[in-house]
A = this chain, B = another copy of it.
Amino acid sequence: MLTVDEALARLLAGLGETDVERIPLSEALGRVPIDAPLISAHDVPPFPNSAMDGYAVRAADGGVVRPVIGESRAGGPPAPAVEAGTAVRIMTGAPVPDGADTVVPIEDAEERDGVVTVAAPPRPGTHVRSAGHDVRRGDAVELPRGPLTPSVIGLLAAMGNSDVEVHRRPRVAILSTGDELRPSGASLGHGQIFDANGPALAAAVIEAGGDPRLLDPAPDDPAVIGERIRAGLEDADLLIASGGVSVGEHDHVRGEIERLGTLDFWRIAVQPGKPLAFGRVFERAVIGLPGNPVSALVTFELFVRPMLRAMLGLAGDGRLRVRARVGEALGKDAPRRAFLRVRVERDADGYRAVSAGGQSSSQLLPLAWANALLVVPEGLSATEPGASYEAILLGAVA
């Protein structure tokens, strides 16, 4: 059996990044910018401006009385230059006129009959934001690595960019397999169940930054499965199948991956999960996840999510981790690393984790209620009450 870390390292090896596209800022939230500094075409701010409403003056003039020779307001016409012993009325954000080096706030000044009296000699430079004090024209601006946030989008706009270069979202074909599967909304016959993996994995692909293409579920027929894989990869960077990777005689996903390309089949020391098929078909990665929805979603989280992020140039899974105390002994399979479905809550001492329900890999309700996966290491057969474990946060914490 491979460890979780060994399996992940193999999956990530040699994975290429998607190509680059330019998109408008209005579509940029959550997209991943390329890892290259952006040369600013402008100073931010573009001109020295006032941090206060007040009077633009020369500090060297000291505390004298000054005639007010004009006004500078944001977006208004240019104000006259401030010469020795004069002042220009100025609004917050407005350009500091030529000659002035300091702004006296309105509350430290008194204007009467076109003349302003300043309470005390101003310190040079006070309340003036210099041109480029945030970003200088020609600066190579690094953006934080990760999906674009509102504030990075604001920065890009302030620099004059109306669009941004990002990695194309990886296109992911999703194929559920099994004679028993029916689409949700249909009726069920003998021995049939609804396909939960297709809709759930499509959502998980979007959440990871990818662009899902949900294929019609395939019956346990090698010809149909092979054709779905072939057709699905025509318009995808990656294909995720679920089901059909066990050892049963009706499990055809592995066989079809092998027939069309190359296949590795791994048993991984992970709970839930264990079998995982990984192949290459037409130079593209194909992953065969377990058919069980809980195992499929957890192995997606552990293995496929980091792959999609790597294709976007990002490291890791992008999830926040906290240490969380557990009050109960939650059993697990000792040789495997377990990812238990828990609800993490904040309390006075930090975080605590409570089982979200049954830990059977056939129970989707507890996974739906879990906001975290609790990582319990290999070697333990249960959590130790009172001990803390790493929790991978999947959702909001109350």
Q: Are B144 and A371 in contact (CB under 8 A)?
A: yes
> Which B residues touch A393, using CB under 8 A?
320
Among A92, A141, A146, the most chain B Cβ lie within 10 Å of the Cβ of A92
Given A75-B178, A179-B76, A363-B134, CB of A154 within 8 Å of CB of B368? yes
Q: Are B162 and A185 in contact (CB under 8 A)?
A: yes
Among A75, A92, A141, A192, the most chain B Cβ lie within 10 Å of the Cβ of A75
> Which B residues touch A250, using CB under 8 A?
73-74, 91
How many chain A residues touch B (CB < 8 A): the figure is: 105
Q: Are B320 and A151 in contact (CB under 8 A)?
A: no
Q: How far is the CB of A199 from chain B (nearest CB, A)?
A: 4
Which of A46-54, A230-238, A260-268, A328-336 interfaces with chain B?
A46-54
Given A53-B247, A75-B180, CB of A29 within 8 Å of CB of B157? no
Q: Are A194 and B364 in contact (CB under 8 A)?
A: no
Q: Are A151 and B368 in contact (CB under 8 A)?
A: yes
> Counting CB contacts under 8 A, is A20 at the interface?
no
> Which B residues touch A135, using CB under 8 A?
365
Interface code A345-384, partner B: CB below 8 Å = 1, 0 otherwise?
A: 0100010000000001011110111110000000000000
Q: Are B157 and A74 in contact (CB under 8 A)?
A: no
> Counting CB contacts under 8 A, is A44 at the interface?
yes
Q: How far is the CA of A175 from the CA of B219 in the complex (A)?
A: 53
Given A91-B248, A199-B25, A368-B144, CB of A157 within 8 Å of CB of B179? no
Q: Are A46 and B134 in contact (CB under 8 A)?
A: no
* Nearest chain B residue, comparing its CB with the CB of A364: B155
Q: Are B91 and A129 in contact (CB under 8 A)?
A: no
Q: Are B202 and A26 in contact (CB under 8 A)?
A: yes
Q: How far is the CA of A46 from the CA of B201 in the complex (A)?
A: 21
> Which B residues touch A10, using CB under 8 A?
none
Q: Are A203 and B28 in contact (CB under 8 A)?
A: yes
> Which B residues touch A29, using CB under 8 A?
203, 206-207
Q: Are A364 and B134 in contact (CB under 8 A)?
A: yes
Interface code A268-293, partner B: CB below 8 Å = 1, 0 otherwise?
A: 00000000000000000000000111
Q: How far is the CA of A74 from the CA of B339 in the complex (A)?
A: 27
Q: How far is the CA of A152 from the CA of B356 in the complex (A)?
A: 13
Q: Which of B25, B46, B154, B163 makes the CB contact (< 8 A) with A188? A: B46
> Counting CB contacts under 8 A, is A220 at the interface?
yes
Q: Are B193 and A158 in contact (CB under 8 A)?
A: yes
> Counting CB contacts under 8 A, is A198 at the interface?
yes
Q: Are B144 and A364 in contact (CB under 8 A)?
A: no
Q: How far is the CA of A185 from the CA of B201 in the complex (A)?
A: 38
> Which B residues touch A91, using CB under 8 A?
248, 250
> Which B residues touch A185, using CB under 8 A?
160-163
Q: Are A75 and B207 in contact (CB under 8 A)?
A: no
Q: Which of B207, B219, B248, B367 makes the CB contact (< 8 A) with A53? A: B248
Question: Can you name 26 A-B pairs with beta carbons within 8 Å?
Answer: A25-B199, A29-B207, A42-B194, A45-B362, A74-B250, A75-B178, A75-B180, A75-B181, A75-B191, A78-B190, A91-B248, A91-B250, A93-B178, A93-B292, A133-B363, A146-B395, A150-B201, A151-B200, A151-B367, A151-B368, A155-B367, A157-B184, A158-B196, A159-B184, A160-B185, A160-B194
Q: Which 5 A-B pairs have the closest CB atoms?
A: A75-B179, A154-B200, A162-B185, A75-B180, A158-B196
Residues of A within 8 A of B (CB): 25-26, 28-29, 42, 44-47, 51, 53, 72-78, 91-95, 129, 133-135, 141, 143-144, 146-163, 178-181, 183-185, 188, 190-204, 206-207, 214, 219-220, 246-248, 250, 291-293, 297, 318, 320-322, 346, 350, 360, 362-365, 367-371, 393-397
